Structure 1
Amino acid sequence: MPLKFGMSKAFAIAFGVMTASAIGGMFTMIILYKTETHNMTMTPPPTQPSTTLPPPPVMRLPKTLVPQKYDIVLWVHLYTKIIVEGNMTNPNITTPNQTMLFTGNSTVHFHCVQKTMSIFLNSKDLTVDAPVVRNKDTNKNVPVSGLKHYDDESDFLEVQLKEPLEAGGNYSLLLAFRGDVSDNLEGLYVSRYTDEASPGEQKLFIAVTNLQPTDARRVFPCFDEPDMKAVFQLTVIHRPETKVVANAKALDGWKYTWFEPTPKMSTYLFAFMVVDNTFDFTTSSTYARPEAVGAGHTNYATDITGRILDFYEGEFEIKYRMRKLDQIALPDLYPAGMENWGMITYQEGVLLYEEGVSSLLHKEEIATVIAHELAHQWFGNLVTMKWWNDLWLNEGFATYFSYFAVDKVEPTFNIVSFISPDSLASSHPLSPAPGDIQTTDEILGLFDSISYSKGAMVLRMLANRVGQNIFDKGINAENENRAPGETARSANSIAEFMGPWTKQSGYPVVSINTTDGRVFQKQFLFNSSKGEWILANINCTGYYRVNYNPENWERLLTQLQINRHRIPLMNRGQLVDDAFNLARAKLVNVTLALNSTLFLKNETEFLPWESAVMNLEYFILMFDRSEVYGPMQAYLQEQVKELYNSFINYTNSATVPLHDHSLQHTQLLAIQLACSSGLPECIEMATEKYADWMESNTTNSIHPNLRSVIYCQAVAAGGKEEWEFAWDRYLTSSDTSEKEQLRRALSCTRKIWLLSRYLDYTLDPEKIRLMDVASTINYIAQNAAGQALAWNFIRAHWNYVSQGDATALIAGVTRRFSTQFELEELTRFEADYDLRGAYRVVSLAIEQTRVNIQWVKENKDVVLQWFEQRTPPAV
């Protein structure tokens, strides 16, 4: 799955276009994946099985049994279409009561490695009975003494036996089970939508799975660990008016649908969907609501999918293994996409694109998510990490390769990259010790920017380091004519290099003193620069920050103001990013960081501006409730004015520079910064265009790229009328991209009562879908007027709002915390609430709040003075 797309465009920008030198190194990642197979393949049975009975397991399943195949029969009782009560369009149609029940049975075939009197599986929220254990070698049943359900985080189901299973034997276990389709986007869950084309209002329902990382056990009893791979053969019993899609290709059937056996795969990749027959699909098996397919909203995704698949097959030199590939746009899903083998699921907003309505930049999000999920068909599905502590091997590789794929099929996107946030003490290594990651909550805590972003950046650095020679060896690693030991030597060299990067948190700072030539952290020396500046980490191929002595910093920042083009574009952005992060770490003065933004008044490229905006956001969060904010706004207005004016002809005429996606990003950033910093002409433009829309009821005067910022700024400047106009459009729009832009804009109002009402709407899934609750509250919390409202709201309604992305919710709502009172409230929250998977992010938030308090105390006065000195005099 991709990292949650509350990031949307920011994620598409966050790691992108790798340098040309890394292209060749891409193949080298295949080498690493091959050499890492000892971490990523199932442990083989021992040649001399022990007769010693194993101790009771703790959290992890014992390795006494090796699953080989599951035969699963699932009967989904859900109705996929229900007429809304009171609708008399067709009185002959009766309205059934919805049932959320599913029942089934499964037979798991397994090999016994070590003698045992118990069979341990995982099962959660299922009623399981009727166990039948059969010795396949003797064709006799093994007597069962009982079933034991473990009421703890292990989710163990123990089948207790009267006679032992013998090492070397082959057995099967039949279990019957029943459970409920979930309302909480986990396991087998229900997604709802409305049939807009029907003569009467109809509610439609989809039963669909989302099992990563540990929710297969909610659907059927299983060995729910990633290295315990098996073949899955599924039969689904469903209502005649429905159809079923699953991992494998369907065989013949009506009420019963049989599927081919899958390749051997992990339980979390098992997937199926039961949906009404009207749920449509293209000839290329892209499924969506019928009106979306009919209007061509799946065309872009369908077009690039084939080209991305071709790219991966050519680069990896391994054909896609499944006989079909379905891609499904779901009304409800968390996260943005899930890489189920042969049946990839997506949120509608990251698969559907409507020409003339969706932002052109939205294509980048769609392409990046699809490329990420398709990369998983090799990295994650075909080859899988042994345990969740090495999640980065799945997500880092998929993130890394996805940008090569996007760059290949859409070269005009020009995606760019940054170092991921990985500097707090409670940050985790890329690859924690297996013993540190045991529970589901601990596993969920790894789905963060470290596993995705740092993982991709470390791989990029490795690709740049190993070069063509290792690549050539690795690409032929399976050649039988290779000299013995060559692959092993390459693997050892890579392991030695990668170990510190994967086993330790954070990243190094390389300090360079140009006056005496000393370099700290790396064991080599520079000669004196004799008054010239020195720039290290050219084009940012290394995963580290660079610090210089004050004299060299001054020369570099002066060079940026005199002639910025002498410094490569990537490094212009990185110098700003390094300066601000080093200042927060107290390695340079905060005024040096602020001085790194002075050259931006004449800068026209997106990357340096994006770097500055991202870093200045911290200053805004810390100071937008203090006297610092006024002078800071005035400075930002002055700096961005020229950039805003350079796009004024495009903006006023509702157009964008079509020839360059990078310029489209820059135009959007210029408007966002100009309006948010209070530039009068920007706010006037936004309010006028919004007023034209309200009057004419057509958005022709607002380009799709610019709607998000114009909607937001107009709602912020307006009142009840502007807000309720946006809310009405949100409720009536069928375009997912438009709805997302409106949902975010609604949070921009400065009216407290409107924000409070909007928060209340998040408790009603008919108004705000559960998957959108966390991001909606976070949008409100980004607004200084909504910060306290959002914090109080999530505490009052924690049990409901935490069903979504609780981790992102806490991270978003606490970003401004910088007072002792807020720290005390957050500490009480940690002690008093059931945090489940959010415990790690709460710990991080507490640590960050302490950092913020100290930072504000130390820097407020000097920052205020710096901005005041640069505030233009009043006219």
Structure 2
Amino acid sequence: MGKGYYLSKNLVLAGLLLAAITLVTIIVLSVVYDKEHSRNSSPSPGHSCPGEGPPGNWTSSPTMTPSSSSTPTPDPLEPWQRYRLPDTLAPVSYNITLWPRLQPDQQGLFVFTGESSVQFKCVKDTDLIIIHTSQLNFTLFEGHEARVATMPGAGPAPQILKSWLEKETEYLVLQLDRKLLAGKFYRLHTKFQGELGDNLEGFYRSQYTEDGVQKVVATSQMQATFARQAFPCFDEPAMKATFSVVLIHPPGTTALCNSREIESVDIELDGVLVTRTTFENTKRMSTYLLAFIVSNFTFIQAAQDTDVQVRIWGRRQAIAEGQGDYALNVTGAILNFYERYYNTSYPLSKSDQVALPDFNAGAMENWGLITYRETALLYDAATSSNGNRERVVTVISHELAHMWFGNLVTLQWWNDLWLNEGFASYVEYLGADHAEPSWDIRDHIVLDDVHKVFAVDALASSHPLSCSEEEVNQPSQITEMFNTISYSKGAAVLRMLSEFLSEPVFARGLSSYLNAFAFSNTVYTHLWDHLQQAVEDSPDLSLPHSVHDIMNRWVLQMGFPVVTVDTRTGLISQKHFLLDPKAVVDRPSPYNYTWFVPIKWMKTGVEQEQFWLLKKTEVQSRVIVAGDEWVLANTNVSGYFRVNYDLQNWERLLHLLHSDHQAIPIINRAQLLDDAFSLARAKVINTTLALRITSYLSNERDYIPWNSALNNLNYYILMFDRSDVYGPLQAYIRKQIQPLFEYFTVITSNWTRVPRDHNDQYNQINAIYMACSTGVKGCRELVQRWFSQWMADPEHNPIHPNLKSTVYCNAIAFGGTEEWDFAWRMFQNATVATESARLRSALACTKAPWRLNRYLQYSMDPTKIRKQDATSTIVAVARNVVGMPLAWNFVREKWSQLFEQYGRGSFSFANLITGITKRFSTEFELQELIRFKEQNLQVGFGSATLALEQAIEKTRANIRWVAESRAQVLDWLSREAI
């Protein structure tokens, strides 16, 4: 699955403008939320892995009839009281017919009806059939929800003595009058009805308006545990089977499934003229990868120069306007790249990619029928930005990577989700780089994944990449695994593995692994086996330990080391890095928080031979320097660790940055900034040392170091934009950003041209948003003029797409009701998804509390803000220093409703807590957060459970850091800002 929590670079950068809001406004808005809730509560268990904690409150459809035993005991003994399926039955094939109604019934509900027949093998003798189902109403067969038939050789058909629905564990349970026999095959027949709701999961509906007509799409999202909402199934990734699907749909609409269409005929059914579309049997696959869509969409198709049919689907207007062209152009190139990279042919005969108006995640890798948010697939050359185009190519690359790694070979259980998502998050950069070789996009993994996950994995409440299966059971626990650790740390450690093995050896091991386990399931150690064999087949490659021994230390223990290089003595040491040095790590480590660390390095600009740090401390005399020599470790940021130096080497690197910063590679300039700020927050080095490094930025013109610097300075903004430190901080940043603003003024001929380089286009955005937020002369007038010109002529927007997010946010922040209302109208009328997303984010930039409160109310109204965008809209308001307390109050007041809508299955739900609490840095805010947790224990936190624990931990760390650093930071800024 794509990175559902993704925010475009433009949106994130524009959000930082809000730091410029005046302190007076903030004080007025510091509303104390002290409404007490009287609830029966119990202490929440601690976390050692995502998903542990109290179960969410799962509710059934009103049509279900759960048994009185539907609430499992703390230590359930009965098979139906466990969240994992028993090992007695294994599915072989499904025959599924679904008929979604695209018009509401007399009660105003959209429904679907269906029939399913699943053939399964009995693995162990049993008189129970337990199969997943949720929110389905069954048609009874002689008083029972299902009918069991035997296949030839299995004897007489068993009779059902009793059947019931288990609400908590989401099962249909059938008690039989005789045992099914091991080795024999049986069939289970069911007929059912479900609601085609707007909840963005299972079989659901998406709606949009085209040519003044509202249209309905029936579509699906099965990952991770939602296939059971569409039909009864053995809904675990290891329970692979083939699927034969028939879709009944209105004439004139198109039906899609994972496999190719066999035939489509018009028939009369229950007195209604319908079209029946039958599809080929799928390959053997997991239920979470099944997909079906009924729509009025149209498509464009690639020339058939291969056996693979490639099509891009979307709204007719969007496709007619060419918004699918870019996706079509890059898809073929990326597929061809992966076939060569994996040395394995694309496993299917088609690749349909569909842009959906309503979709919760970024994208979903359904095998042969990939679904996307419109912003992740559609690109309009006239209105979409450089960042939008990169978003499309990287998400497509991520999802296509899954066609092999995840779909062809699938994880055994969700505790190893990182193997799917971490791998796709790494190789997406390789595929995108192949499609757009001039962008140097492979370097972006350092900013977008490595640095991002460092911030999470440095917490005491982090977790290992791989947990035991027993730690991930409930659906909300599974959803919680879709987090930054699984995606970004997984990508970082696999990149490190590829670096020290070399890309060719890594790719050979992958090819062997994929061919050995095609159409089957694995655990991560199987990958190590095949990579180890690739190492042994490479006589020129020598490792200090086996792949297993090296990589298990990165997979089975949380966190990462800070490696300290002492250039005076040659002593190299490692230590578990914690952002809060006083934090207590409760989770034991099988390796005592010691890693096998591959260290690439250079001495005075010359690359040196890699060495390994295998113990807590070692001596490497090669790193000892003399005179003006300097050492830089972790070149290319190829390893997943931070680096500290003795003070003298820090001073030499600092001098080099000021005298000849280009002597240090671009990525390592970003690394020095990120490492220094994090080390300072952890009290490893002095805070002023980190700040001193930023003083070279007035001479920096490259995007990657600038973005690293601004990401780190943003922490200072969040901690101090409500205090007297903010004035000197703003003045200092203005001093550093002004030369960059002037540089882009010149090279763009006074903002009339677009920079040629991909990264320069991003850095131009940095220059404008930061210049405007810190008060660089001429910036505010520039953006207000552009926005005013657009307001005067709404049909002709003079603002370049790259700059729209920043300009919109600035203009709305500096403007009043007229600007906000204009942007709202443009948002409502937008026909390009990327333009809609920019405006939606910018509307949260207003300084007016009443408009922000109104906008928060809009976020819960799906007629104004789509459900898929509700949580990110609330977070956008919280990024605004004025909106943060308003959003916090809103979330507390609406928590039950928010949890009901998004808490169990939304991959973006955890970001709601993370986004709102980023500024929390006072004891008062900490106590509010703790009280919020206590008051809502009965409601639950679902997939945001770990995010809440981490928010509390980060708030405590922020409180300590501000108390210890404020005076020092204020003193230094007051001197340097002049």
TM-score, with normalisation over the residues of structure 1? 0.89
Return closer, same or farther for 1:56/1:251 CA change in 2, 3 Å cut-off: closer
| Aligned 1:684-833 pairs, distance under 5 A | 684-802=781-899, 803-804=901-902, 805-833=908-936
* Aligned residues of 1:78 and 1:98 also touching (Cα < 8 A): no
Cα-to-partner distance string for 1:584-618 (whole Å, 9 max, x where unaligned) = 22211111111121111100111111111111111
User: For the aligned residues, what is the CA RMSD?
Assistant: 2.4
CA distance in 2, matches of 1:862, 1:577: 20
Alignment partner, residue 515 of structure 1:
568
* Aligned residues of 2:79 and 2:85 also touching (Cα < 8 A): no
Alignment partner, residue 180 of structure 1:
195
Aligned match for 2:227, one of 216, 222, 230? 216
* Aligned residues of 2:532 and 2:547 also touching (Cα < 8 A): no
CA distance in 2, matches of 1:469, 1:650: 40
Question: Following TM superposition, by how much is the alpha carbon of 1:734 offset from its aligned partner in structure 2, in angstroms?
Answer: 1.0
* Aligned residues of 1:655 and 1:703 also touching (Cα < 8 A): no
Return closer, same or farther for 1:55/1:367 CA change in 2, 3 Å cut-off: closer
Alignment partner, residue 504 of structure 1:
557
Question: Following TM superposition, by how much is the alpha carbon of 1:67 offset from its aligned partner in structure 2, in angstroms?
Answer: 0.9
| Aligned 1:48-87 pairs, distance under 5 A | 58-79=82-103
Return closer, same or farther for 1:247/1:495 CA change in 2, 3 Å cut-off: same
Amino acid at match of 1:525: V
Amino acid at match of 1:631: P
Aligned match for 1:111, one of 106, 116, 121? 121
**SS at the partner of 2:481?**
coil
Aligned match for 2:288, one of 265, 268, 291? 268
| Aligned 1:267-666 pairs, distance under 5 A | 267-276=287-296, 279=298, 281-282=300-301, 284-415=310-441, 416-418=444-446, 419=450, 420=453, 421=455, 422-467=457-502, 470-471=505-506, 474=509, 477=512, 487=533, 493-521=546-574, 522=613, 523=615, 524-527=618-621, 528-531=624-627, 532-649=629-746, 653-666=750-763
Amino acid at match of 1:213: A
* Aligned residues of 2:741 and 2:767 also touching (Cα < 8 A): yes
Mean Cα deviation higher: 363-372 or 560-569: 560-569
* Aligned residues of 2:429 and 2:445 also touching (Cα < 8 A): no
CA distance in 2, matches of 1:476, 1:447: 26
* Aligned residues of 1:6 and 1:775 also touching (Cα < 8 A): no
**SS at the partner of 2:164?**
strand
Mean Cα deviation higher: 687-696 or 63-72: 687-696
* Aligned residues of 2:154 and 2:181 also touching (Cα < 8 A): no
* Aligned residues of 1:774 and 1:809 also touching (Cα < 8 A): yes
**SS at the partner of 1:163?**
strand
Amino acid at match of 2:471: D
**SS at the partner of 1:680?**
coil
The number of residues matched between the two structures is: 811
**SS at the partner of 1:319?**
coil
Question: Following TM superposition, by how much is the alpha carbon of 1:806 offset from its aligned partner in structure 2, in angstroms?
Answer: 1.9
| Aligned 1:248-259 pairs, distance under 5 A | 248-253=259-264, 254=266, 255-259=275-279
Amino acid at match of 2:383: V
Amino acid at match of 1:125: Q
Alignment partner, residue 777 of structure 2:
680
* Aligned residues of 2:80 and 2:171 also touching (Cα < 8 A): no
Cα-to-partner distance string for 1:285-334 (whole Å, 9 max, x where unaligned) = 21111111111111111111111111111211211122211111110001
* Aligned residues of 1:75 and 1:236 also touching (Cα < 8 A): yes
* Aligned residues of 1:376 and 1:394 also touching (Cα < 8 A): yes
Cα-to-partner distance string for 1:773-819 (whole Å, 9 max, x where unaligned) = 11111111101010001111112222444434321111111111111
Question: Following TM superposition, by how much is the alpha carbon of 1:98 offset from its aligned partner in structure 2, in angstroms?
Answer: 4.9
CA distance in 2, matches of 1:105, 1:58: 26
1:167 partnered with 2:173: no
**SS at the partner of 1:320?**
coil
Gaps (5+ residues) in structure 1? 14-52, 83-94
* Aligned residues of 1:68 and 1:230 also touching (Cα < 8 A): yes
* Aligned residues of 2:562 and 2:641 also touching (Cα < 8 A): yes
* Aligned residues of 1:654 and 1:701 also touching (Cα < 8 A): no
TM-score, with normalisation over the residues of structure 2? 0.80
**SS at the partner of 2:722?**
coil
Question: Following TM superposition, by how much is the alpha carbon of 1:542 offset from its aligned partner in structure 2, in angstroms?
Answer: 0.8
Gaps (5+ residues) in structure 2? 14-76, 267-274, 303-309, 517-528, 538-544, 575-612, 903-907
* Aligned residues of 1:236 and 1:258 also touching (Cα < 8 A): yes
CA distance in 2, matches of 1:395, 1:351: 19
CA distance in 2, matches of 1:871, 1:489: 54
Amino acid at match of 1:173: L
* Aligned residues of 2:255 and 2:277 also touching (Cα < 8 A): yes
Structure number with greater CO (CA < 8 Å, separation at least 6) is: 2
Alignment partner, residue 967 of structure 2:
861
CA distance in 2, matches of 1:675, 1:646: 15
Alignment partner, residue 204 of structure 2:
189
Alignment partner, residue 944 of structure 2:
838
* Aligned residues of 1:763 and 1:800 also touching (Cα < 8 A): no
Question: Following TM superposition, by how much is the alpha carbon of 1:679 offset from its aligned partner in structure 2, in angstroms?
Answer: 1.6
Q: Identity over aligned residues, as a percent?
A: 43
Alignment partner, residue 147 of structure 1:
163
Cα-to-partner distance string for 1:198-234 (whole Å, 9 max, x where unaligned) = xxx3211111100110001111111111111110111
CA distance in 2, matches of 1:432, 1:640: 44
Question: Following TM superposition, by how much is the alpha carbon of 1:656 offset from its aligned partner in structure 2, in angstroms?
Answer: 4.5
**SS at the partner of 1:293?**
helix
Question: Following TM superposition, by how much is the alpha carbon of 1:755 offset from its aligned partner in structure 2, in angstroms?
Answer: 1.1
Alignment partner, residue 38 of structure 1:
none
Cα-to-partner distance string for 1:14-72 (whole Å, 9 max, x where unaligned) = xxxxxxxxxxxxxxxxxxxxxxxxxxxxxxxxxxxxxxx99666221111111111111
